[in-house]
Amino acid sequence: MPIKDTAREFFEAYDDQDVERMASLATEDAEVRYVPLGEDGRGSVHEVGTATWSALIDAFPDFHNEVEWITEDENGDAFIRVFIGGTQEQELWGIPSRGEECWIDHLFILRGNDDDEITAIVAYWDNVTFLEQVGAM
């Protein structure tokens, strides 16, 4: 299965709020870097990644994503533009819930190995827009 298909499965699992399935697509030593979160968003997919995904799903019970496009390159990297959002119902990272709906455009880069397992995830989004939408700014 090409990394593009692995990426599609990853976001289908994310949309299903299935953190275990998301993590199962990554190698044991896979790393994640959520750039807007700084050092707090950097670490193991199986620790930092799963904790981040679980926190988002808990805070946004109607959380889902809409993949705009997926492409891949000859190096085994998939590039994904995805809109992620929902309505915040619980506190997230010290941000109290105001019941606001939030939709943020993301760019994900998933690096794959020869078996098309995820070895690294890097994600970018406009954190100021996120904070404005949830009423924190």
Q: How do residues 66-82 score in pLDDT, each as one tens digit?
A: 999 999 998 889 999 99
Give the containing element (helix H, strand E) for 35: none
Q: String of b and e for 18-47 (b: at least 16 CB within 10 Å)?
A: ebeebbebbeeebbbbbebbeeebebbbbe
What is the pLDDT at residue 137?
79
Torsion angle (degrees, nearest 10) of CA 30, 35, 39, 44: -10
Cut 0.75: pTM above it = yes
Q: Is the pLDDT of residue 1 over 70?
A: no
Which residue matches tokens 């993590």? 23
CATH class held by domain 3-133: alpha beta
